[in-house]
Each structure stands twice: as C-alpha cells, then as structure tokens.
Amino acid sequence: MSEKFTVRDFFKRFPDDDACLQHVMEVRFGARHVCAACGVESTFHRIAKRKAYACAACGAHLYPCAGTIFQDSRTSLQTWFYVIFLFVTTRHGVSGKEIERTVGVTYKTAWRMGQQIRQLMEKADGFDLMRGHVELDEAYVGGHRPGKRGRGAAGKTIVMGMKERGGRMSAEVIPNIKKATLREVTLRNVEPGSIVSTDELMSYGLLDGDGFKHGTVKHGAKEFAYYDYRHDATHHTNNVESFWWLFKRSIASTHIHVSQKYMNRYLAEFTFRSNYRQMRNAMFDLLIGAV
C-alpha cells in the first residue's frame, strides 16, 4: 500500500470490528507465534463472539487488546481505529469537538480518546541523543489571547524545540529561560561535539564549555542565517521555527486553549507526526500495537 492513506483506504481495510481485531492481533503477535501457554510455535483462530483467539496446539485463549487503550473500552474498535486514523492523517491536530462530530461519541468520551492517543504518542518518542547539526529554539504558546508581544507574555507556556537536521524533532515545556535551564535541556538532549544553532537567547559562552560547536543567529538584528567557516555549517533555526509556526496556528484553530498541564502531550502529538510524516502506515500500526 502506498503512503497515501485515504478515508477510502481506511474503510476498505477496516470494514468492521472483526477486521480491526484481526489487525491488532497481527500487529502485536503476527500470524504465527510462540504460544505463551504451551511454548509451541502455533497458529491462532478467532473465538466466535469474543475478542479472543485460541491456540491451535493447546486451546489457550489470547486477548490481543489486553493492555492496549482498547481494552475495557465501550467504544467500538472501528471507532478507535478511525480516530487514530484522523490523528495520523491530519496536519493540524484533532480536537475533541472534531472527534465528537465525526464519530458520534459524547464530548467527554471524545476528549478522553484524544488524550489517550496523545499519551501513546508521548511514550513513543525516543530517548536517543540528537547529534550532527541540531537547531534549538524556544517559543511561547497556548495563551488565551495574543496578549503582550515578545518574551514573557502573560498566560503562555514556554517550550523548547530541538530539531536534528535530517532527523528527529523533539519539544518540551521548560519552566523559565534562565541560563541553567537552557543548558540542562541541551545537555540532556544533544550529544556533545554536535553543531548547535540557536538564537541570541543562548548567549555566547553558554554551551562552549560543554564541547558544542555553537553558533548564534542574531534575530534581534534581523540576521536569520550565516555560514560558519570554523565548523563548515550554516547556522539558522528555520526548521524549528516552521514547527512552532504550525503548532501555534493549529493549537489556536483547533484547541483554543491548552493548559500547561497538558502541553507536553500536545507537543508529543505534533513531534510524533513530524517524525513519522513519510510513514503513515508505520505510525498507525505503532499506535494500534502500543501498550
């Protein structure tokens, strides 16, 4: 199947709950696998009227949804699958209202489903250090109103974005923009020796003692990129800035207000999509099989 994953494709692959359950089984256990009860590499057949399969060798029952977000949910598997499909295929994020409208569940259920899917996306984020050339840029997001401009705007959450050029995007809430905080976030996420591009907030000297090849773009002086002969690298933070641009617009248009408490989850939703953009089927299966 191509990486295009249309609504038509979706309903062809998942016409009903049985097809969805079969997919959970395949993603989590595969067609043949070693039975946990008898130790035989066995096939498993569906048990009628139960969300379970039975081992062909010993008859032991296996519930493929055990431990997933589908377990014990009164929402049908196909509805869950469709909401996950929305998360995978959207560009701007999925609001509780949209889930409520599209699949016909209550707003409360819709909101909970969205949060559970975001939690899976948060967990799926890797812990590998970023290396090579990494862009760092902070932003202020999620206030009620545009409010004051510039740093320290009221009601906003401060977030730090990191993008490995040609690689992964990562983002997290930070408590403040003190020197020690910025340095700690960098040390925790970026491998020493990497080239790091930041704006002037990460002032000269902040990262130099830690072995980074650090370049600062002076946004205040309308400088947006420069070539660094010492490290043979072009310093700019355009990739992180585009991420923030999309994130802010999407939050404003679909969620209106996101509290600080949930901000990391929304960030994870967007970095997850950004990191798997070319692999929608992989993204989908990763969420289906997550426990």
Binding residues for Zn ion, rule: CB under 5 A, are 35, 37-38, 55, 57-58, 60
C-beta closer to Zn ion: residue 15 or 59 = 59
* Cβ at position 28, least distance to Zn ion in Å: 16
Spatial strand order in the sheet of 157-164: 169-173, 157-164, 133-141, 195-199, 213-217
* Cβ at position 56, least distance to Zn ion in Å: 8
C-beta closer to Zn ion: residue 66 or 174 = 66
Q: Which residues, 6 or more positions from 215, have their beta carbon under 8 angstroms from its beta carbon?
A: 195, 196, 197, 198, 226, 228, 231, 233, 235
C-beta closer to Zn ion: residue 35 or 267 = 35
C-beta closer to Zn ion: residue 26 or 125 = 26
C-beta closer to Zn ion: residue 58 or 154 = 58
Q: Which of 256, 222, 259 has the alpha carbon at shortest distance from 93?
A: 256
* Cβ at position 116, least distance to Zn ion in Å: 31
* Cβ at position 43, least distance to Zn ion in Å: 10
Strand partners, 168: none
Whole-number Å distance between alpha carbons of 238 and 180: 24
Residue 54 token pair:
């039975």
How many other CB atoms sit within 10 Å of the CB of residue 178?
Answer: 10
